[in-house]
Structure 1
Amino acid sequence: MPTIYPAGCFAGILDGEMISSITAVQYEEKYSFIGLYIVAPEYRDRGYGIKIWNHAIDHLIDEVGVECIGLDGVLSEESNYQNRYVLQPSAVFSVLCLL
């Protein structure tokens, strides 16, 4: 049974308040998944979301060494993912393959 991966749970804190969160979980040696990405509505479109997003991606690539990241994202953001990553959509979820 896989173990919980607490090193991949991140919170964005501003003035003592949690304003964003994301999880970046390694499943296999080269495969991981990003999810539970949320920014409090009053802090959206101010750069906080992309900051925590990039931190999670950098963690998985640079520290963990994965090559493929699964993503369950909202459809309205699909073009943002495609502009930044190699996106291979599937019926279940999207996969960012960072080779």
Structure 2
Amino acid sequence: MIVGGFGSNAFTSRQIIPNITFALEKLSPKPDHLRVIVAHEFGHLAQNILSDDAGMNWAKSQWTHPLIWLYREGIATHLSRQIADNIHPSVYLFF
């Protein structure tokens, strides 16, 4: 957990088993919102582990390419729906 001036409410570092950071001042106090953002970040973690187990060459990953970004966010959003279910669909896209 961190406090102070970050542009995102949470982010996952670019590691196979990443550090997950939550910016306190950017988080919603609503329990469903918190469940979704935590589930989303754990979705990134799960994707990293599954990708590594499948033999991904991490040195060749183009982390800043827009298609990679969309793919990774889409997978994390999908996994967050599996982890934190029965929440209004818009929350998964907003948080």
User: TM-score scaled to structure 2, two decimals?
Assistant: 0.32
More helix by share: 2
Structure in which a larger fraction of residues adopt strand: 1
